[in-house]
Structure 1
């Protein structure tokens, strides 16, 4: 099991990143909440990982903090929740926001995540309520957006943002409309994704 990587962030193509560790490039899929906190390209990072081995693939998922990884593991233990849906949930809501939804039995916020209907949201509330009793809300000390992130072309940032939203389960037309509605020159793909997701909430 690969539990942690320490290396150089060489590529960000939401929702995927590549981390160079001693000349080996590890491709990881990350939730948007992790993407927002990453440094600029060519900077060193430490990222916590979860490896999923299937017959046809070995998939590596990355998280900025151990707490995010543990929450991901709680989600994929639930019936009917695979890595894709777990990442979509964690991309739309911070861990503390998710915990708050569970305790408040707020299905409406969960239903705004692609792939989560009313029945799924209700089941998530029931199954997670007991699991999360020992979890406390911890204010994040990390910035939501890596302000130093840079990208060469705004249009590339817009395309990256649309692609990331589609990978999370949004329809292409819906993703394009959401990004266009909040697009401003000079914004990074991470900021566009964050604003688009907030606009959909």
Structure 2
């Protein structure tokens, strides 16, 4: 099993990247959440991986965080959810958002992901209810740390910031910040990063 790869990023063609690991080029399928977080071509990067072996092909999937990989592994265990659907789910929702959708039994949020219909969404909600547990969420680096973290995160997302940018900014904010101060601090941090 290939559990992790560290190498030079050679090519980026969504949803696939080519990673040179000591002279061997690995084609790795990644969710868009990971794709947008990748460094520039020619830079060293590390991906947590999951290998799928079928009769006709070997597919390697890569993830920026361990929580994404664990969530992917939970998703592909569900009947009717293949690797492509799991990749689409992680491209359309962060691990945190998926956990919230499952906790709230919000099928409408899942149906918005391309390739996920009503029946698949209902099956996901039913089977993931007890499986997306706190272990995966604790691995996720994007869980808001501020007392108003979810509200600040929603505000940043509505302003057009990506999940990665918004989550990074929320993690930087003091846990004692008020909602308005938290949003102000996050916007200042994000303006400096641009």
Displacement of 1:115: 2.0
TM-score, structure 1 as length reference: 0.68
**Residue 140 of structure 1, aligned match among 142, 147, 150:** 142
Tell me the SS of whatever aligns to 2:120.
helix
Structure 2, unaligned stretches of length 5 or more? 144-161, 166-194
Are the counterparts in 2 of residues 37 and 143 from structure 1 also a CA contact under 8 Å? Answer: no
> How far apart are the structure 1 equivalents of 2:82 and 2:163?
28
Tell me the SS of whatever aligns to 2:130.
helix
Displacement of 1:36: 1.1
Displacement of 1:132: 1.7
Displacement of 1:136: 3.2
Tell me the SS of whatever aligns to 2:137.
coil
Larger Cα-atom Rg: 2
For residues 118-142 of structure 1, the C-alpha deviation after alignment (integer angstroms, 9 at most, x for no partner) is 1211111010001123343655289
Aligned equivalent of 1:23: 23
Moved more, 134-143 or 116-125: 134-143
Aligned residue runs from structure 1 range 144-183, under 5 A? 144=164
Aligned equivalent of 1:118: 118
> How far apart are the structure 2 equivalents of 1:115 and 1:33?
17
Are the counterparts in 2 of residues 49 and 62 from structure 1 also a CA contact under 8 Å? Answer: yes
Aligned equivalent of 1:2: 2
Instruction: Kindly tell me the number of residue pairs found equivalent between the two proteins.
Output: 145
TM-score, structure 2 as length reference: 0.71
Aligned residue runs from structure 1 range 12-91, under 5 A? 12-91=12-91
Are the counterparts in 2 of residues 39 and 45 from structure 1 also a CA contact under 8 Å? Answer: yes
> How far apart are the structure 1 equivalents of 2:36 and 2:51?
22
Structure 1, unaligned stretches of length 5 or more? 146-201
In structure 2, relative to structure 1, the CA distance for the partners of 1:42 and 1:15 (3 Å cut) is same
In structure 2, relative to structure 1, the CA distance for the partners of 1:101 and 1:27 (3 Å cut) is same
Aligned residue runs from structure 1 range 184-195, under 5 A? none
> How far apart are the structure 1 equivalents of 2:62 and 2:103?
26
In structure 2, relative to structure 1, the CA distance for the partners of 1:143 and 1:132 (3 Å cut) is closer
